[in-house]
Amino acid sequence: MRHLLSTADLDHGAAVHLLDVAEDMSDVATREVRKLPTLRGRTVVNLFYEDSTRTRISFEAAAKRLSADVINFAAKGSSVSKGESLKDTVQTLAAMGADGIVLRHPASGAAKVLADSGWVDASVVNAGDGTHEHPTQALLDAFTMRRRVHGAASRGRDLDGLRVLVVGDVLHSRVARSNAWLLRTLGASVTVVAPPTLLPVDVSRLGVDVAYDLDEAIADVRPDVVMMLRIQQERMHEAFFPNAREYARVWGLGSARFRALPETAIVMHPGPMNRGLEIGDEAADSPRSTVRDQVAHGVSVRMAVLYLTLTGDREDAR
Amino acid sequence: MSTRTVLSQADIARALTRISHEVLESNKGPERLVVLGVPTRGVVLAERLAASLSSISGVDVPVGSLDVTMYRDDIRRHPTRTPQPTSLPPGGIDDAVVVLVDDVLYSGRTIRAALDALGDHGRPRAVRLAVLVDRGHRELPIRADFVGKNLPTSTSERIFVRLHGVDDDELVAIEGGVAS
């Protein structure tokens, strides 16, 4: 695997393989020395054109656990604010010897442009491009679901038959898009629930079922997993719903709705949570909430991605 | 391409029994022994060796597997390898006498990687190496303590180890090289 740009590029075998490698990586966290020498002498650049704490820290922890050198580059307060282009920035970084570039960019498709450009030789990992994709988040969500379903016997398994509800701001959510593709590849069925104003026009192309009423969807689908998406206030320049209180009442996972879920259903959230808006305290703090598991698994999954993209003979990996 | 069998299933069983006795003799008993196999076939051999050690000594000898993929020095030369699970016995390896088990000892690079991996899991009192076949051509100052069979080979030959549990049949064979 040379780059990781989209979960749509992963077939069933590649996705399961990646999750299996992540299982081995997660074992490292329980050892006496929590570090592998695998990427010693290689350099990973975290190139972040958008604010992000958890994704950047997670990639940084993953790279460091594999002994890679990490350079963090935040566009704010850098040469980018003086007008430097993406091309010039990455070529500068490549000249410093970057082997892998982890790119977060507000423009959809930025990672693909960089990977196809020939500007640099480095492997490109998409850490979120606009409202398009966030593949490592989808992979860690799938990893978390697989762990909850299959436990220690997760290796080699997929998510066949799992029923997943994805609730909230699908329109702006790269997490929802990456998840829809990956979960379908892994055999799960996905239903998105959102106000019509927060659904993309081409929602049918995601290969998911669509519902507009959360209570009905919970009763009809009997979900194994409920994934609450963050209301991305920073991307909302129009009125997509009347006000926050109405959104919380109709599409939020408050106490009553949380209790109406099947008893084994788990609650996921990519973070950071808007408590009281899309998710209530009872759901967020319940043992069935996987929010902290998702963070821990994020490091393992990103280790697997960095391992698979940065090792191996380049000619063979293509 | 000529292929000839050098160890039969019975030969492999006898070699493992002999190695068990040698391990117990050099360790003066089964105390603190931990047997760790290097995936894939080293794990099968390690399980058999541990079972043999347990039945001879009457004491349960813990067994596990130690993956070395992430410690190899050829990570950038080959297609990406898939790591295998590492599972250590519950007691860990601190102050244990670890017997590493692999099927073929060749360049010694796998064992070099295994020694590095071992150091990240704890501090054994001693590390011994048991291999089914030693084919020579070492590239590092590493030797085996217990050897099933020494097989002088040329580098153009290939050694096949097939074991029940991983493969359909069980034998050690040499392929290629100059026909004798």
d(CA A43, CA B172): 42
How far off is chain A from B74, nearest CA to CA, in Å?
A: 9
Q: Does B109 reach chain A within 8 Å, measured CB to CB?
A: no
CA–CA separation, A191 vs A202, rounded Å? 15
CATH 3.40.50.720 fits A136-290, yes or no: no
CA-CA distance, A227 to A218, in Å (whole number)? 12
Is the CB of residue B84 less than 8 Å away from at least one CB of chain A? yes
Provide the number of CB pairs (under 8 Å) joining chain A to chain B.
56
Per CB-CB distance under 8 Å, the chain A contacts of B119 are 33
Across the interface, which of B70, B121, B122 has its CB nearest the CB of A38?
B70
CA–CA separation, A269 and A286 (whole Å): 13
Q: A-chain residues within 8 Å CB-CB of B116?
A: 37
- List of domains in chain B: 11-72+84-155 (3.40.50.2020)
Task: Look at B86 and A27 and tell me if their CB atoms are within 8 Å.
Answer: yes
Task: Determine the pLDDT at residue B1.
Answer: 67
* Regions of chain A where pLDDT drops below 70: 235-238, 313-318
Question: Which residue in the set B71, B77, B82 is minimally distant from A17, CB to CB?
Answer: B82
pLDDT number for residue A137: 97
Q: State the Cα–Cα distance between residues A88 and A74, nearest whole angstrom.
A: 15
> Is residue A112 helix, strand or coil?
helix
pLDDT tens digits for range B16-41: 999 999 999 999 999 999 999 999 99
3-state secondary structure of B11: helix
Which residues of chain B neighbour A36 with C-beta distances below 8 Å?
A: 70-71, 120
Task: Output the CA torsion A204→A206→A207→A212 (10° steps).
Answer: -60
| Residue spans of chain B under pLDDT 50 | 180
In chain A, where the domains are located: 7-134+296-311, 136-290
The CATH number of domain A7-134+296-311, selected from 3.40.50.720, 3.60.21.10, 3.40.50.740, 3.40.50.1370 = 3.40.50.1370
ipTM comes to 0.78
Name which of A13, A5, A135, A44 is nearest B82 in CA terms: A13
- Output the pLDDT for position A314: 56
pLDDT at position B180, please? 47
